Amino acid sequence: MTQTLTIPRPDDWHLHLRDGAMLQAVLPETARHFGRAIIMPNLVPPVVRGDQAAAYRDRILAALPEGMAFEPLMTLYLTEDTDPEDVAAAHASGLVKAVKLYPAGATTNSASGVTNFDNVRPVLEKMAEIGLPLCTHGEVTDNHIDIFDREAVFIDRVLDPIRKATPGLRVVMEHITTRNAADYVASQDTDLGATITTHHLIINRNHILAGGIKPHYYCLPVAKREEHRLALRAAAVSGDKRYFLGTDSAPHTDPNKLSECGCAGCFTATNTMSLLAHVFEEEGALDKLAGFASENGPAFYRLPVSRETLTLRKSEAAAEFPKKIETGDGPVTVFDPGFPVYWHADS
């Protein structure tokens, strides 16, 4: 018998769409199931000012296939030169929904990120004043900090001090990967939220490293030990409104992944909703999927929940996903969970 689950149309609160031929190819993969997405600004060059965000938004809408509806929620890339007044104007016009903090050097295209956090204080204070959320890539970048510890150290050394120094600043800890991060969110007030990716609910670091190196499972922050994956699952299905879906779907072409210095990113846009239904069912929490994927994010961003719906159907036949998406820049491999999934998402 077919089991169905209908939820409000989900949103993706952390998404990389890139630009040009890549944008053209990956946008339909998200727009098929998601109504809105927070669009990451780490292009080359990054989306720093309001006028650049407006132009990027136009390029996204121009790439949207006929008949598909999708609302890109734009972000600005925080640099030490960001002008608080430009941020405020981009927010006031309704264009920009968040500002993204990348510690310099933390990940793909983060060279223009922040080194000295004191230099962005005026922007953070303006954001607290106008209620504009800060999205954080929560990893320190110091070479002597072990890569598996960088998220926990970021909380202590950067995030907590910023939040204490900036009362009222609303912060999203993006793509959390540790029990430390999930516990930190739980211990704070509702000015703090966290996104969790689909892949961090499925893989731990063994998937990347045991039995041969698997570049398609490498992303940043890197997947941690099993105990952390289990803590993320518990947070995602808890019903706590501070945790919501941000896929961090991050396309890179196969040559760029399968290289001596492979890029970080898992491309999950195509099968995320099927995988999430599988995970939530495994956790005995299908009733919590609507909150995680469709309701908690809008509540944090103070936007309405979608009035459209998405129906997921479980059938006897495993869902078939393309192994790769062809793009004008080269093939992009779709995240392989490593197990069959019986949930199908209507488009």
The H helix count followed by the E strand count for the chain is 13, 13
CB 223 within 8 A of CB 229: yes
Closest chain position to Zn ion (CB) = 248
Least distance in angstroms from the C-beta of 203 to Zn ion:
16
Omega before 340 within 30 of 0, i.e. cis = no
Joined tokens for residue 47:
């989306």
Least distance in angstroms from the C-beta of 257 to ligand DOR:
10
Whose Cβ is closer to Zn ion: residue 248's or residue 329's? 248
Whose Cβ is closer to ligand DOR: residue 84's or residue 215's? 215
Q: Which residues bind ligand DOR (CB under 6 A)?
A: 16, 42, 107-108, 137, 219-220, 250, 263-265
Catalytic residue among 11, 12, 86, 248: 248
Whose Cβ is closer to Zn ion: residue 86's or residue 248's? 248
- Which among 126-134, 223-231, 248-256, 271-279 is the span making contact with Zn ion, rule CB under 5 A? 248-256
333 binds, among Zn ion, ligand DOR, none (CB under 5 to 8 A by kind): none
DSSP reduced 3-state for 318: coil
CB 68 within 8 A of CB 28: yes
- Which among 223-231, 243-251, 274-282, 288-296 is the span making contact with Zn ion, rule CB under 5 A? 243-251
Q: Give 96's strand partners.
A: 74
Q: Is 248 a catalytic residue?
A: yes
Least distance in angstroms from the C-beta of 270 to ligand DOR:
16
# residues contacting Zn ion (CB under 5 A): 1
CB 178 within 8 A of CB 228: yes
By CB atoms closer than 10 A (0-12, 13-18, 19+), residue 93 is exposed
Whose Cβ is closer to ligand DOR: residue 84's or residue 262's? 262
- Among 248, 281, 295, 329, which residue interacts with Zn ion (rule: CB under 5 A)? 248
Quick count: other Cβ atoms within 10 Å of Cβ 152? 22
The torsion defined by the Cα of 233, 238, 243 and 248, in degrees rounded to 10, comes to 30
Indicate the pairing of strand 3-8 with strand 192-196. Answer: unpaired
Least distance in angstroms from the C-beta of 40 to Zn ion:
5
Residues designated as active site: 248
- Residues engaged in binding Zn ion (CB under 5 A): 248
